[in-house]
Chain A
Amino acid sequence: MSEFLAGFQDTMAYVVTLMPSLMAGAWVTAKLFVWTLVLSLPLGLPFALGSNSKFWPIKAICQIYVFIFRGTPLILQLYFFYFFLPIAYGIRLDPFVTSVITFVLNYAAYFAEIYRGGINGIDRGQYEAAHALGLSKSQTMFGIVFPQTMRVILPPVSNEAIVLIKDTALASIITVGELMKASRGAVNRDVDTTAYIIAAIIYLGFTFVMTLLSNHLERKYSRYDSREVD
């Protein structure tokens, strides 16, 4: 029993020595996550609207963009931006910035498709009623259409956000010092997998917070009964 206790104390002491580097990594992960969401959530909207455009060049550009970023591995996109800019233009961006740019472009493509589905689900009659009341195009979109898409797009958007928490780990391959890289460093150095377990717990913590937040938003936007039955 006391042997077990001593072992436990040793482990805890080791965990304490790991914490500073893991918390620093978790902080970078959190920043990657927040920056990506803050930028890609709005960026998806013009691509969603563009994919619905009647002007074919805009429609084509938006559809090709979505096709490329959803159709290739994120890890390839990371490598591409990490090596492409220095090789082609001699520009060396900070790896963190490169990761944010890549994640934003990738996630905006997914969000664009989710938004587009939500927007296309809105009945024509809603646009007609708005027009008949004299509402402008932007008043119609922001006041009538987008709020109604919320309840439809929130579940897939929060799902993507949870996937993003885990995708941030990919940034480690282009040397970003986030949680994955920090834990891998400790494991390789000490030949001890404890750091991975702590990292897993931290990732789960992020996911848990994200799940709570999305449940809260989904409840908020489901107050009304959306099915307008004739």
Chain B
Amino acid sequence: MVDTVPAPLRNWGVLAAALFVLWVLAAAPGDWSNIGSQFVAGLQIGAIAALGGTGLVVAYRATGVFNFAFAGIATIAAFIMYELTTKNSLPEWLGLVIVVGGVAPVIGGLMDVVVFRSLERRSAGTAEKLVANLGVLILLLGIGGVIYQETAYQPNFVFSSKQAFSIGSGSSAVSVSWGVVGNVAMIVGAAGLLILVFRFTPLGRQVRAVVDRRGLAELNVVNANRISMLSWAIGAMFAALAGVLDAPVVGLQNGALALQVLQIIGVAVIAKLRNIGAAVAAGFGLGVVGSLSALIETPHYPHWLHWVHLPSLNQDIVVQLPVLSTLAFLLIYRTLDESDGGGTGGIVTASFSRARRRTAAATVQGALGVLAVVIIVPAVITGKNLVTAQSVVAYAVCFLSIVAITGYSGHISLATAAFAGLGGYVTVRLSNGLWPLPTTATLPHVPQIVAMIIGGIVVIPLGVLIGYPALRRRGLILGLITLAFAQIIEQFVFQKPSWSSAGRTITRPGLFGFSLSGDRTFLYYELVVLGLILLLVRNLRSGALGRILGAMRDSEKGAVSVGISLRRYKLLIFGASSFIAAIGGSLLVQQQGTLNLNQDGPFSPLAGLYWFGAVVVFGLSYRSGAILAAVLYVSVDVATGRTNSSLIVIGAVALFIGYLPGGVIGSGLRVFSGDGIDDVSPAQRSLARFAAERRRRETAPPPGTGLKPSAFAEKLLVGGGE
């Protein structure tokens, strides 16, 4: 429980790091100054990662919420800094003071006051807090996106790149710029300040007390509020600092910068989400190792391997170190400080269909109604609305995948967009007569519909692969694993020219010689696919299978205790949901006619976060939730004429998910039909259960539910019984 990395594994890690350094030294051409300057450059990048990682750790430790929003805060901070200094030529130091010292703590404070304090008061579950936090991310990136769209800006560096001093002399001298000095000073100063505050101020000591024993926060509401506000503010300041310093390095573009910053999650993960010192070390470590790896010459691979372009893969592995190590450490650590136990209380609700059996007449009426809608609506809408409707249907299929995986089986997956993108990718490649691999070898052209089905099937094993970690992990950690997976797919497949530069367009399909390319016919075709997927998803919820998945979602211990094999059903649901996502992605690509793999496109890791937020808002446990989410996701942008504006709506509603248990639909049903829970909600129950378990673990020996020992002993020894 305390330390779960087995010693041998830790030793292997040290050994691997040592071998890597030796490898660099052996493989690096040139002299020591070369290595020295790479090392120094690594410090500059590493300092930024260390700042971001420290902010994540502080916020997580003090509030128990993983601060996904840090990427949004970083982005907004970088934009404001850009406006102040680069555009309006304020001095950099003043910009830094305003953004990091003023704007960031205000954002953090607002997050606390508006969102998390009320969630805390309502004793919301961890899943709800996670969603609210995602809401902040989505809202901030939505605002950034609406204002700045997808334009890339180049902000000034905060610190000058002139030499501050140099180490050594002559030709082997290593020059150290003010940029390096500044960045390192920032993290050293900030972390130092943090430690001073924690150690020597009363409030800091309380924060530490809370961090060590979260339950203590409940003792004093005033302090708990101050502490949580302080923690969010500090977390936001670190995020802002990381964003402001990172933007000049990687460029300032709304989604792209957020994606860069999200990689810093790896730093927090390596630090087990708890240890500030480890976060600083991990930040510097990743920065330096990544920077040194640039020196490694491309090794030579055997000729027969050249078709997979391994040389570039070799470089990628070191360049993409943060994401790869995120995944690796999430898998290596058997437990992280996961405060939620993986519950999805509050965002997932059950509807007791069996308790209120529908009559046959009602079923027929319902079916007729649906039929009327799907036949009449496409027939009457025209032009641009027809295209909007097409897009809605494709997204609805994608979103149904989230309903299946999270709503029905309780696994948080943030990789849906990646699976959808893979489905689209396979479809496009096959229909262009190309292998869905980094090769230029050709195939016969595959008809689009067949290619779509193959795409769905090809993705299943990948979904099952992601299901394996889910055998032991749920909640936040599974969310992080799936996010890392999405980032890896993004970087190794979607952004790789060798995989995806050729064959990015697709024409609309035909069936038995009948073209489906007209806008209206295509919509009907999409509706048929949607109908089939709806049936599949319904089947994941009904019958023995649906009951078993629901049972697993509610209690894994209970499920195994009646003989249910978690492995079988978890892998099944992961496979099924990745299939559905792939079909949805394929539809989307067929509808758009091109495969858009841009970082702000529909298949980026950020899209996975947006999609999840959109479905949660409407109701994860309802098929109609997915459909309404798709309507909103697409139509707000169309209505306002600005992309990303739907994000503002979704983000804003997600902030208040604590007031909408089960999303808009779940809450609506509860209000209007009394469907759902009689007196206690499952959310409250699971929370109570978790709280009980937590309390037991924290106090050893635990307060029992039975008699006090003395009374117990008295009965045992003195009498009672027969």
Q: Are chains A and B native binding partners rather than an unrelated pairing?
A: no
